[in-house]
Chains A and B, each alone.
Chain A
Amino acid sequence: MSRFTKFGKRYRDKALGIVIPIVAILLAFVVGAVIILFLGKNPIEGYGLLFSGALGNPGRVAQSLMSACPLIFTSLAVAFAYKCGVFNLGGEGQFIMGATVTMMVLQVTGIQGVPGILLGILVGIIAGGIWGLLPGIMKITRGLNELITTIMLNYVATLFMNYIYSGPFHDPDSGNLQTPAVADSVNLIRVDRMHFGVIIAILMAVVVWYVIYKTSFGFKIRAVGINPTAARVAGFPVKRLVLLSFIISGAIAGFGGSVDLLGRQYRLMTGFGSGFGFSGVAIALIAQLNPIGSMVVALFFGMLTTGASSMQVGIMVPSAILDIIRALIIIFAVSGMALMKLPTFKNLLNRRPMDQEGLMPPATGDKKVEVSE
């Protein structure tokens, strides 16, 4: 019989955290294949086109990375807030506010070049942070549930952006509802075929991971997220930490909005940022709120987005199939994690449960007996 070594359980939990999403993805693809079969098409051919469309040549890869970029930001925003017990569903609004304010400031000031980029990103971060701060204030002063306030603020942000691109900042040369493109000189620097923002996003994931797991601040954030009462008794400024996590979470999403505007979209228009907030929630949950994991899952989702059109063109199935697959991944991943929490499964995995009082092995003189054989 196999025995867990001292750290075996921890490694096993980590391994499960990776295995579950992978199994979920495979299952989702199997179900997707069945749907494609029912449509009378060949799923293997379709998936082949999907992956070659996403990764077939350097241009495609760059496209996939750029599609993933905003998702990395919004999923990190969700993961960070959730570590402090805050469920930020307002990533979309914070993302949009970041982009909108960046647009406005650059248009009004007309600053060009790298200073323009830096200023644009800075105001985007601040705008996102403020959009995160608002529900934070409502929560800690009046106890309003952030699940509701953050969603409501998404609408406010979207409508505000609407007003901006159809009113004061409307592009006079276009019949569409959109702003003019930002000046070429403030477009994000390009590395090969992709913009520099992708690298920023990847660095961001590392930074968030570092802050959450390696600093005292992140430690406190996590403690507050798990048990705010104990954190307060231990002398942590709980309200301040909660508020900070709202701000930081919003700032990350706002950062993403700026980057997406300056690197990929260049202008605000109908549908800008739409759905990124909720995709971010889904990605963070699949990644079990791990920042690095969020980045990986976001990259995968970006790939699916890019490959979807190739599949649609190639075998004539609607790209909505990919939306179904994406939704199935979420459902399978979340139910997989829930399954693992069932006592039956736990007992199966832990030959020696340690989660209930009275089941703790009594300490014997020889501790080695408990941990190895």
Chain B
Amino acid sequence: MEEMLRMEGISKRFGTFYANRGVNLDIRRGEVHTLLGENGAGKSTLMNILIGLYQPTEGKIFMGGEEVHITSPAVAVEHGIGMVHQHFMLIEAMTGFENIILGSKVNPSALIEEAKDKKAIMELADRYGLEVDLDLPVSEMSIGMQQRVEILKVLYRGAELLILDEPTAVLTDQEVEGLFEILKSLTDEGKSVIFISHKMREVTRISNRVTVLRAGESVETLEMADTNGQELSDLMIGHHYVESTYKKVDGGKPVLEIKDVSYHPAEKHGGLKNVDLTVHAGEIVGIAGIDGNGQSQLAALVAGLIAPESGEVWRNGEKVAVFSPEDFIDQGLGNIPEDRNKMGLVGDMTVAQNLILKETESDRFSFGHGLWLKSKAIQEFADAKREQNDIRCTSVNQTARSLSGGNQQKVILARELDGDPEVLIAVYPTRGLDIGATNFIHDSIVAQRDKGCAVLLISADFDEVLKLSDHIAVLFEGEIMGQYSGENPPIDQISLAMAGK
């Protein structure tokens, strides 16, 4: 196949630290090429070089055999390179159409020629099967449609090479299928895709070739047909990877009982309808289901953030009267919330401050019930947790925002499991994390279970639910569709229940 892009011996140095060193990557026309690597392996740096945000310290870039100097993102667009970022770069209050033409020089007219531009966009959309409502404000679009707008934006600017940074991290399984079909129609037309992901199941399915990065260097490029998920995992982490399995157990006494709870039951996406669910001490109850079927509300209910409209919640055989996060936390609740940055961390505070977020009034970290914070004790605690949870940062005094997703999640985990809570809620605990971090989170959750903690696991990743849960419940449009044992679960039955059947 014809070569589209070649990056040769790319190095990028920040101070003494090499984010990339001697990386080689070549992309052929019409292929899906996966860039595989753990967080911090240098994938983002490499892509930032390719789209002109960084200049490489060394190395050359060739497009169609000719050397190019991508000095700015505008130059990258001229060369037909476009990137769909993991966190979408859309203006929520504007419509899909407005977002697509925003800043584009495709139509040189000074006036907005809406009919003409729309026609051009719709042609693209039809050609690649991108179903988008151009007149809908982005804020009202599903995540999947927002992503399609991002893809259209890039295509409209004439991209031949599309970079998709962890595009499946935010999608439901159904949406992932749709995305894969779009990718196929793109490559059928001779466009190429650089796909960044660490979900091995997707990588093995969609890729033509895979380049593995590790510690800033390119380890190997393999034809997908000649390799398998196991080999790729081994290459990615640098030693033989063994997927952990966990023993399924039976729980003890009921700790958390949800009895016939409804919350906005009329809403299909965002309500709860007559939910009955019990979590026992020392067991993991996994909630399977497609994202947006009441998972967020269930998590909010158990965290005390919302009160049920009808029905009751019982804790240790006592009915809960007041729904407030303070009270729930006082009674021993650990919460790994669904959105690390919005709900879990105060991004502009330091790692150390985030680790003691809930404990500033304790005698451990302050004198006189919060009158004087003990900075030394806080520092020591943070350093200990950093060591214990392998939180990778240059100092616990850097902001939590500056950590990678996996390390942010480790900070939250360290905080929430400190003091061994009686109940733990884990919502999408490993979303967007690499293998190493995912395993660490899973091990920690199971270890907590073995200490007698009642764990409610909510995840859109079906494999994760199957792997961890001692007991599985399926949520569909706010209703519990069925409950199953975690030991030898009837996978076909559960899949049907997830689709509402």
Question: Nearest Cβ in chain B — how far from A360, in angstroms?
Answer: 5
Among A227, A234, A356, contact of B358 (Cβ-Cβ < 8 Å): A234
Cα separation A353 to B53 with both chains bound (whole Å) = 13
B346:A231 contact, CB within 8 angstroms: yes
Check B390 against A363 for contact (C-beta < 8 Å). Answer: yes
Contact of B305 among A3, A6, A233, A358 (CB under 8 A): A233
Of B305, B353, B357, B403, the most chain A CB neighbours within 10 A belong to: B357
Is B45 within 8 A of A358, CB to CB?
yes
**B366 neighbours in A (Cβ, 8 Å):** 215-216
Q: A215-B370, A230-B342 are in contact. Are A371 and B394 (CB under 8 A)?
A: yes
B17 in complex: contacting residue of A219, A356, A361, CB < 8 Å? A361
Given the complex, which residues of A lie within 8 Å of B330, measured CB to CB? 235
A359 touching B373, Cβ below 8 Å: no
A170 at the interface (CB under 8 A from B): no
In the bound complex, residues from chain B placing their C-beta under 8 Å from that of A234 are 325, 329, 357-358
**Chain B residues whose C-beta falls within 8 Å of the C-beta of A223 in the assembled complex:** 346, 349, 353, 357
Q: Which residue of A lies closest to B342 (CB)?
A: A229
Interface string of B116-142 (1 = CB under 8 A from A): 000000000000000000000000000
Does residue B58 face the partner (Cβ distance < 8 Å to A)? no
- In the complex, how many angstroms separate the beta carbon of A344 from the nearest chain B beta carbon? 12
Q: Which residues does chain B contribute within 8 Å of A216, judged by CB atoms?
A: 360-361, 366, 369-371, 373
Q: Among B41, B44, B357, B398, which residue has its beta carbon within 8 angstroms of that of A362?
A: B41
Minimum CB–CB distance from A224 to chain B (whole Å) comes to 9
* A326 CB-CB contact with B under 8 Å: no
Interface residues of B in 259-274 (CB under 8 A from A): none
The answer to whether A362 and B342 touch (CB under 8 A), given A216-B370, A226-B348, is: no
Report chain B residues within 8 Å CB of A233.
303, 305, 325, 335, 337, 343-344
CA distance A369 to B17 in the complex (A): 9
Evaluate whether A235 and B326 lie within 8 angstroms (CB atoms) in the complex, with A215-B372, A354-B402, A363-B390 already known: yes
Of the candidates B40, B360, B397, the one whose C-beta lies within 8 Å of that of A10 is B397
Residues of A within 8 A of B360 (CB): 216, 219-220
**Alpha-carbon separation in the docked complex, A9 to B350 (Å):** 13
- Distance, CA A214 to CA B373, complexed state (A): 5
Cβ distance B365 to chain A, nearest Cβ, rounded Å? 8
When C-beta atoms are compared, the residue in chain A nearest to B408 turns out to be A357
Check B17 against A370 for contact (C-beta < 8 Å): yes
Q: State in angstroms the CA–CA spacing of A214 and B343 once bound together.
A: 24
- Complex alpha-carbon distance, A279 and B265, angstroms: 52
Question: Given contacts A216-B370, A360-B40, A373-B16, are A354 and B349 in contact (CB under 8 A)?
Answer: no
Judging by beta carbons under 8 Å apart, are B358 and A359 in contact? no
Q: Tell me which of A232, A353, A356 contacts B325 (CB under 8 A).
A: A232
**Inter-chain contacts of B405 with A (CB < 8 A):** 357
By a CB distance below 8 angstroms, the chain B residues around A359 are 14, 19, 44-45
A352/B14 contact (C-beta < 8 A), A216-B360, A223-B357, A357-B44 known: yes
Query: In the docked arrangement, what's the CA distance between A358 and B42, Å?
Result: 6
Contacts of B305 in A (CB 8 A): 232-233
- Is there contact, CB below 8 Å, between A352 and B17? yes
Nearest chain B CB to A164 CB, angstrom units:
39
Are A360 and B404 in contact, with the CB atoms below 8 A?
yes
Evaluate contact between A354 and B370: CB separation under 8 angstroms: no
Given A351-B14, A359-B45, are A235 and B358 also a contact pair (CB < 8 Å)? yes
In the complex, chain A residues whose CB is within 8 Å of the CB of B347: 226-227
Separation in Å of the A355 CB from the closest CB of chain B?
Answer: 5
Query: Which residues of chain B have C-beta atoms less than 8 A from A229's C-beta?
Result: 342-343
> Does chain A have a CB within 8 A of B103?
no
Give Cα distance in the complex from A308 to B417, angstroms.
Answer: 61
**Chain B residues positioned under 8 Å from A369 (CB to CB):** 16
Contact with A along B385-412 (1 / 0, CB 8 A): 0000010111101100111110100000
Please tell me if the beta carbons of B342 and A227 are within 8 angstroms of each other in the complex.
Answer: yes
Contact A219 B353 (CB under 8 A): yes
B43 within 8 A of A: yes
Are A351 and B15 neighbours in the complex by a CB distance under 8 Å?
Answer: yes
Interface flags for B319-335 (1: CB within 8 Å of A; 0: not) read 00000111011100001
Known: A215-B373, A233-B343, A360-B393. 18 other contacts (CB 8 A): A9-B398, A215-B372, A216-B369, A217-B370, A223-B346, A227-B345, A229-B342, A233-B325, A234-B325, A235-B330, A354-B394, A357-B39, A357-B44, A359-B14, A359-B19, A360-B392, A361-B394, A370-B394
Query: What are 27 residue pairs bridging A and B, where the CB atoms are less than 8 Å apart in the complex?
Result: A3-B15, A10-B397, A215-B366, A215-B372, A215-B373, A216-B369, A216-B370, A219-B353, A222-B349, A223-B346, A223-B353, A223-B357, A226-B347, A226-B349, A227-B342, A227-B346, A233-B325, A235-B358, A352-B15, A355-B401, A356-B44, A358-B39, A359-B19, A359-B44, A359-B45, A362-B392, A363-B392
**A interface residues with partner B (beta carbon < 8 Å):** 1, 3, 6-7, 9-10, 214-217, 219-220, 222-223, 226-227, 229-237, 351-364, 367, 369-371, 373
